[in-house]
Amino acid sequence: MTQWRKSSRSSGTHGATECVELATLADGVGVRDSKDADGGHVTVERAAFAALLARIRSGVLDLV
State residue 38's pLDDT score: 93
State residue 1's pLDDT score: 87
Q: Which residue in 40, 5, 22 sits closest to 31, CA to CA?
A: 22
State residue 8's pLDDT score: 77
At 13-52, the pLDDT tens digits run 555 567 889 999 999 999 999 889 899 999 999 999 999 9
Beta carbons of 43 and 36 less than 8 angstroms apart? no
State residue 7's pLDDT score: 80
Cα R_g (the chain), whole angstroms = 13
| Cα 17 to Cα 58: distance, rounded to the nearest angstrom | 24
Supply the pTM of this predicted model. Answer: 0.77
Q: For residue 59, is pLDDT > 90?
A: yes
Name the DSSP letter for residue 62.
-
